[in-house]
Structure 1
């Protein structure tokens, strides 16, 4: 079924110049292991379709790692991040979501890469790890829905597989990329129809209170964003 929306209802996503501006800022301040634009989009995508709300003060430390040069710069970057964040849910609402992916050089020329996006998506899940992990263990249907994301993440070395995993060929990789919008919509629908229970939330609160801060090992990534 095709959904028709009025132009006024279409999500206000970042235009190319705004994406360039945010991309340039992130690159100028990135160190090894920091998320670039594709990773930030993956992070915010996981948050948008996740089980419960994640406040900006929780996810911003995953994106910003040093003080702003001045107040105007800070306000501008925060405004761009807020707009990017808001656009994801709006795009999902009208079936217009597209992941921001990286671009890497291969022997046959430039190719899309999900490495950064998957790294960000993984970190978004980590922000509510207790809920995700318990539900993934208890409900195989959620794992099945996330299959294309998991396949890409394992292929890129973001996640480790318990069993030997054969690398995706180019056709399989592209097919998983093409499925990302449908996966996000399905995960969003899953958590809307199967919200976190009180027992799961109580367990999460207990875990958060007792968990000590851990710094994840840095990951190296290069490439350019494309949309």
Structure 2
């Protein structure tokens, strides 16, 4: 089982998970695949260790007991855990391979939609809101988080429109910057933990 959970998801398995998350079985407000990817990314790069039994229930729009009773539950939960491990491995072993799973606004695949990924990321950070605050206390950290948040926050997007900002161009620009921002946020919290560990040893 451990070996299976380390295997990268195939395109077919990603499609299966995507379809499951959009099915009536999990509820109409369950996370999409893109939202799930952003959610898991925030959990993995954040400062707090959030265990699967804490974050798993937030994926569905139905009680876990209902989800776990589904015939396909074991397979789909395995796919979720493998996606979690896949993101963790990319970030730890080869960050250059990390890429957010985004949807496209058009058939030509020229305009990325960051809305759902952004929303998932904010949900993930919200699981440890207090521990994320040091990032927001830093100017650069606040800029990065707000840039990600701008993909899904309706009030921010309305303000940008009033200022004449083209949201499609904005989202495309943020989409290109997401991998770099994810790694910078991860490194911010890593350095914070290293600094705290050194201070603890000095005392």
TM category, shorter: 0.7 to 0.9
Q: Deviations over 1:65-110 (max 9, x none)?
A: 242475752211111000000111111120211111123359x888
Structure 2: gaps of 5 or more residues: 1-5, 198-203
Which residue is 1:190 aligned to?
188
CA distance in 2, matches of 1:92, 1:12: 15
Which residue is 1:16 aligned to?
11
Structure 1: gaps of 5 or more residues: 1-10, 199-227
Deviation at 1:153, TM superposition (A): 3.2
Which residue is 1:181 aligned to?
179
State whether residues 43 and 120 of structure 1, in contact with CA within 8 Å, keep that contact through their aligned partners in structure 2.
yes
Which of 31, 34, 37 does residue 30 from structure 2 map onto?
34
Question: What is the DSSP-based 3-state SS (H/G/I as helix, E as strand, rest coil) of the residue aligned with 1:121?
Answer: helix
Q: Does 1:49 align with 2:45?
A: yes
Deviation at 1:62, TM superposition (A): 1.0
Provide the TM-score with structure 1 as the length reference: 0.69
Question: What is the DSSP-based 3-state SS (H/G/I as helix, E as strand, rest coil) of the residue aligned with 1:51?
Answer: coil
Which residue is 1:74 aligned to?
73
Deviation at 1:12, TM superposition (A): 4.0
Q: Deviations over 1:15-74 (max 9, x none)?
A: 101101111111113544321111111110110110111111111111132424757522
CA distance in 2, matches of 1:109, 1:74: 32
Q: Comparing both chains, which one has the higher relative contact order based on Cα–Cα distances under 8 Å and sequence gaps of 6 or more? A: 1
CA distance in 2, matches of 1:71, 1:169: 40
Equivalent residues in 2 for 1:60-209, closer than 5 Å = 60-64=56-60, 65-66=62-63, 67-68=66-67, 70=69, 73-93=72-92, 94-95=94-95, 96-105=97-106, 111-132=111-132, 134-154=133-153, 157=154, 160-161=155-156, 164-165=159-160, 166=163, 167-195=165-193
- Give the root-mean-square deviation of aligned CA atoms: 2.9
Change in CA separation of 1:192 and 1:109 when aligned onto 2, cut-off 3 Å: closer
CA distance in 1, matches of 2:188, 2:71: 40
Higher strand share: 1
Question: What is the DSSP-based 3-state SS (H/G/I as helix, E as strand, rest coil) of the residue aligned with 2:9?
Answer: coil
CA distance in 1, matches of 2:53, 2:126: 15
Change in CA separation of 1:197 and 1:62 when aligned onto 2, cut-off 3 Å: farther
Deviation at 1:131, TM superposition (A): 1.6
Q: Deviations over 1:198-219 (max 9, x none)?
A: 9xxxxxxxxxxxxxxxxxxxxx
State whether residues 31 and 59 of structure 2, in contact with CA within 8 Å, keep that contact through their aligned partners in structure 1.
yes
Aligned length: 182
Higher helix share: 2
State whether residues 142 and 187 of structure 1, in contact with CA within 8 Å, keep that contact through their aligned partners in structure 2.
yes
